[in-house]
Amino acid sequence: MLLCCVCMHQLDIVIDNVASTVLILEAVQSSMSKMNATELSSFRLDANLGGTSAVLQRKSVERSAGYQCYY
């Protein structure tokens, strides 16, 4: 029973992390939609992927997209 609760808690953390990353990337996409072609061509995401953590958002993208993020 305890193992099940631990797994459920870990899953809840992963889901919250993915939801947070989606919100961050939606904000990045919104700002990109307001850029002109010159700004878009020079736009690059930093290691934080638009968020405040270099690890959390990257791991979330890796989990959901199924590939490694390289910089």
Specify if 22 maps to a domain: no
Q: Is residue 38 part of a domain?
A: yes
Distance separating alpha carbons of residues 22 and 32, to the nearest angstrom: 15
Model pLDDT for residues 39-51, shown as the tens digit of each residue: 999 988 887 777 7
Number of separate domains in the chain: 1
Q: Does residue 71 fall inside a structural domain?
A: yes
Three-state secondary structure string covering the chain = CHHHHHHHHHHHHHHHHHHHHHHHHHHHHHHHHCCCHHHHHHCCCCCCCCCCCCCHHHHHHHHHHCCCCCC
Given this model, what pLDDT does residue 68 score? Answer: 62
In a domain, 61, yes or no: yes
User: CA–CA separation, 13 vs 44, rounded Å?
Assistant: 28
Indicate the average pLDDT of the chain. 81
pTM: 0.70
Give 59's pLDDT tier (boundaries 50, 70, 90).
confident
- Domain residue limits at 68: 34-71
